[in-house]
Structure 1
């Protein structure tokens, strides 16, 4: 697909190299596949961004592109888009996710970002809030570079090379005839040291700001669901990370959720189970009627379609599974005892005998023959 390199980076044709680099970082962070997993359109956009930057960040290729377009690049030895991109910039992109450097071949190369840009916080919901959705106000804190020290953490805005590790961020430890490499304890792996800490940020290089935001929780979210709020994470220069809200759902007193299906146990009196009955039971959205067959069994389950949770992605409704628990009377008066005895006799069940097929005795006797 044909596209313009300047348009894809959203810069003017007379933009200088710093503007192009800044625009590339912004676009690459926004469309990085790790932040848009499974999105083929975003993945293609990410490739276009890197193709544009590879050309526009190279003075020779940019001049040819400006004069002849992409066709002019095809004739260059080793020209055109190779699918690669600047490793320092790639390190900046990854460090925004994981807070550390990545892949730079330069000794002592440092991440552009001082901290991860994305934030994740937990949000606890009531059972019904997760099922039906709601609006929640979230209070959280995000990081922003300290303006007093220009994000250096140093009172005078300057940093020195760490004298212990020489700026590498690592030191060697000799144990017997073996030598191990570990993170420099003096500079915590940054390769830099501060003479006097900035009083504004206590030497961190950033300040934390309290903020709040209202978000809509969709129907059907469940434990471990992550909701992404774009551009509400940590800030650094012209970049903003995303805020991820991880859902925790409280248990309900009566309903038990399994995916989109919901279970409930309903107490049923033994006469209702024996005779069969139509009883009113609760569902997530109101009452409904459960028809019990004659001779319903204890722990028997009945499925009521589309009375479960609406799937947050497909919008399909799960089922309500009703399990009955047969309740027996704890006490009987004389009249009830007499009535139950008559009922027992009507089924030819004799006191002192098992209420089962007598052929069981013949089966047991066969074990010993």
Structure 2
């Protein structure tokens, strides 16, 4: 009885990666496990079939052999005694395939496919205001673009690339040494299978040329340092008309003179006068939308935080608005006149002495702690 195709058994495509194969196996193994289906011979046989398929396809070497030769390439009972074997394949070809993989030939019997263009990265600096509000920016990107005269073929308009006379269009050549045959890319056509005998004047036969493109990039509101914006197909042009790569615009937000951003919240320091801190009052604070009044309650200390809800950054992903956190910093008066200094001395005298604990609780608590500390050292 012929075996089913292992990819069919697991229900995956032949191009599936290791992760997809493992996921399919776990799903089927849980469904068909004998402990879950006691007394069912059909289910037990299916479970064995799934396990066998996974053991082959999860092993890169066994999977490669299976992809090339089918069940004959992985079943030790086939091929040793006659008819099944490798289907009459020439052993020189088999070793050429195997060693071609090792030495970079890939074992393929056809020319290399034109490779997709390389992806590019562009570093874009934004101000905080631009990042928060969103903006369209024009950028200039040096890259390889497809030749519009030869349409990427590299051949002069009116002519066509010719089949490589060395590899006869296969893109591969074999080097035999005794029993072994090593397959490698054709050095004449570089694995393409074709050569350009009459090159295009604009791209000199390369099918693409260097150019600086000007692109408009729409920056969504709320981006932050580290975010990337993908522009599909704006990378380097592929070889011989192959698809272009992508351009990734990497965002970096410059430091702001007033605000510090943390996620969707903004932080800033607000200097307030000694009088406002003691008696209370109002100060103007900056926001990204303009100035607002912040009410300062009496007896405010340095470092106190005030939250202004919704005045931060709107999240790029959730749309939730962050807050503006204002930290008060009491500013000590400078450049005082003698009369002003005298007033401060009078104030200090009036709140010192017996009244100190009432007017300066933190200072008094600190100095009492220092006194206890030294008393403990001397006792």
Query: Structure 1 length normalisation: TM-score?
Result: 0.56
Partners of 1:263 and 1:321 within 8 A in 2:
yes
Partner of 2:124: 123
1-side partners of 2:237 and 2:199: how far apart?
A: 21
Partner of 1:180: none
Partner of 1:364: 374
Pairs aligned (count): 256
Unmatched 5+ residue regions in structure 2? 1-14, 21-56, 58-62, 68-103, 176-183, 355-359
Partner of 1:296: 300
Over residues 246-298 of structure 1, what are the superposed CA-to-partner deviations in whole Å (9 max), with x where a residue is unaligned? 22222221111111111111111222222222211111111222222333222
Partners of 1:152 and 1:158 within 8 A in 2:
no
Partners of 1:119 and 1:242 within 8 A in 2:
yes
Range 295-304 or range 306-315, more displaced: 295-304
Partners of 1:159 and 1:195 within 8 A in 2:
no
Secondary structure at the aligned position of 2:378 is classed as: coil
Range 143-152 or range 225-234, more displaced: 143-152
**CA offset at residue 356 of structure 1?**
2.1
2-side partners of 1:122 and 1:223: how far apart?
A: 11
Structure 1 residues 145 and 362: alpha-carbon distance in aligned structure 2, compared to 1, 3 A threshold: closer
Structure 1 residues 149 and 218: alpha-carbon distance in aligned structure 2, compared to 1, 3 A threshold: closer
Richer in helix (by share)? 2
2-side partners of 1:368 and 1:154: how far apart?
A: 97
**CA offset at residue 132 of structure 1?**
0.7
Partners of 1:162 and 1:191 within 8 A in 2:
no
Structure 1 residues 135 and 103: alpha-carbon distance in aligned structure 2, compared to 1, 3 A threshold: farther
Choose which of 271, 275, 293 in structure 2 pairs with 1:271: 275
2-side partners of 1:366 and 1:187: how far apart?
A: 91
Partners of 2:208 and 2:237 within 8 A in 1:
no
Partners of 1:161 and 1:191 within 8 A in 2:
no
Partner of 1:7: none
In the alignment, does 2:265 pair up with 1:256?
no
Partner of 2:115: 113
2-side partners of 1:148 and 1:278: how far apart?
A: 69
Partner of 1:322: 326
When Rg is computed on C-alpha atoms for both structures, the one with the higher figure is: 2
**CA offset at residue 123 of structure 1?**
2.3
1-side partners of 2:351 and 2:339: how far apart?
A: 19
Structure 1 residues 321 and 206: alpha-carbon distance in aligned structure 2, compared to 1, 3 A threshold: same
Query: Structure 2 length normalisation: TM-score?
Result: 0.54
**CA offset at residue 308 of structure 1?**
0.5
Structure 1 residues 194 and 310: alpha-carbon distance in aligned structure 2, compared to 1, 3 A threshold: same
Structure 1 residues 309 and 114: alpha-carbon distance in aligned structure 2, compared to 1, 3 A threshold: closer
Partners of 2:306 and 2:327 within 8 A in 1:
yes
Partner of 1:306: 310
Taking only aligned residues, the RMSD between alpha carbons, in angstroms, comes to 4.4
Unmatched 5+ residue regions in structure 1? 1-27, 34-42, 44-81, 88-101, 172-182
Over residues 166-198 of structure 1, what are the superposed CA-to-partner deviations in whole Å (9 max), with x where a residue is unaligned? x779x9xxxxxxxxxxx99x8998688989976
**CA offset at residue 148 of structure 1?**
6.2
**CA offset at residue 111 of structure 1?**
3.8
